[in-house]
């Protein structure tokens, strides 16, 4: 349905990944070989944290219904700021209308969230899932997407205290309501969520056939493999990116995240953890 990337590490101009790398996010919006939709031109979003964030900082957002390749403001902005953690998302709409409030990433306080995928049969489960959102959070849902409802359902389930457990509980609720409505495989997708310091990237679907998800190999390892690669000079040793599909054809530069797995990215590097591997 969409393509996305999330970066964590030393402050970086987002344009380096969103615009200027071999298979940048903007390039993927025009041609996405691993995606279900080749073209993702129904709007985009960019969310970023400040250059020296403190715990609880609110990230900034830029959303547009223009195709990412057509918006000069995106180029200006992603070359003007420098961020240690940012999200980029290009959208292929599949039902919900093309409007800014439906563009990812979504924000709540210091949290960012984005999703590539869908809740199958959402029109049948929308009422039940929306009613499951905490009443104090419900007015904050501005768009009409299944992804935004999933985000606020995860917040209701305790995202701020237990991101992995809360998203797991939210997805189980989606699957429960879907099956009540006769939907065999209610959940599909990859998800990124961050509090501004740690980045969690999930790959899960009820059918266990999720959209693709990759993360970069550690920069020091890549420098050993490619000592003459000038492109790597742009990145610090802690630079890490999670993507829907690799940003370069360089062998060994990206590692696929397995099905039913969450990749955790922080100052200590990468960790993988099982996510909802038990039978749904």
Rounded mean pLDDT, 182-200: 96
**Worst-scoring range by mean pLDDT, 68-82, 93-107, 114-128, 200-214?**
93-107
**Residue 171: helix, strand or coil by DSSP?**
helix
**How much is the average pLDDT of 92-112?**
83
pLDDT at 206: 97
Assign 68 a pLDDT band (cuts: 50, 70, 90). low
pLDDT band at 277 (very low <50, low <70, confident <90, very high): confident
Burial of 123 per CB tally in 10 Å (0-12, 13-18, 19+): exposed
From the list 117, 114, 163, 164, the residue with the least C-alpha distance to 273 is 164
Distances (CA, A) of 210 to 36, 133, 244: 11, 25, 11
Lowest mean pLDDT among 8-22, 44-58, 225-239, 245-259: 44-58
Q: What is the three-class DSSP state of 73?
A: helix
Give the residue-averaged pLDDT of 104-109.
95
Distances (CA, A) of 66 to 43, 70, 146: 5, 7, 21
* pLDDT at residue 100, rounded to an integer: 85
The torsion region of residue 229 among left (phi > 0), alpha (psi -120 to 50) and beta comes to beta
Mean pLDDT, the chain, rounded, equals: 90
pLDDT value for 40:
46
Query: pLDDT tens digits, residue range 9-30?
Result: 999 999 999 988 888 888 877 6
Distance of CA 181 to the CA centre of its chain: 27
How far from each other are the two terminal CA atoms of the chain, in whole angstroms? 23
């Amino acid at each position: 349905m969409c393509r996305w990337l999330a970066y964590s590490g030393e402050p970086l101009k987002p344009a380096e990944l969103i615009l200027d790398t071999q298979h940048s996010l903007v390039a993927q919006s025009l041609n996405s070989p691993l995606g279900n939709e080749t073209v993702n031109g129904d709007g985009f979003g960019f969310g970023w944290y400040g250059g020296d964030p403190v715990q609880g900082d609110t990230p900034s957002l830029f959303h547009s219904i223009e195709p990412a390749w057509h918006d000069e403001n995106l180029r200006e902005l992603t070359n003007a700021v420098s961020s240690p953690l940012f999200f980029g998302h290009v959208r292929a709409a599949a039902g919900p209308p093309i409007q800014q409030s439906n563009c990812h990433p979504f924000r709540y306080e210091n949290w960012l969230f984005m999703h590539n995928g869908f809740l199958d049969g959402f029109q049948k489960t929308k009422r039940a899932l929306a009613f499951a959102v905490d009443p104090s959070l419900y007015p904050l849902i501005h768009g009409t997407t299944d992804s935004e409802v999933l985000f606020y359902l995860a917040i209701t389930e305790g995202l701020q205290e237990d991101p992995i457990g809360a998203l797991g509980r939210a997805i189980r609720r989606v699957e429960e309501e879907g099956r009540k409505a006769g939907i065999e495989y209610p959940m599909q997708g990859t998800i990124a969520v961050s509090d501004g310091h740690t980045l969690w990237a999930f790959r899960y679907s009820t059918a266990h056939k999720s959209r693709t998800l990759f993360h970069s190999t550690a920069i020091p390892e890549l420098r050993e493999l490619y000592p003459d690669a000038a492109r790597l000079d742009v990145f610090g040793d802690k630079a890490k990116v999670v993507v829907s599909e690799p940003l370069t054809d360089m062998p060994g530069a990206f590692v696929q995240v397995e099905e039913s797995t969450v990749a955790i990215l922080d100052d200590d590097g990468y960790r993988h953890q099982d996510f909802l591997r038990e039978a749904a």
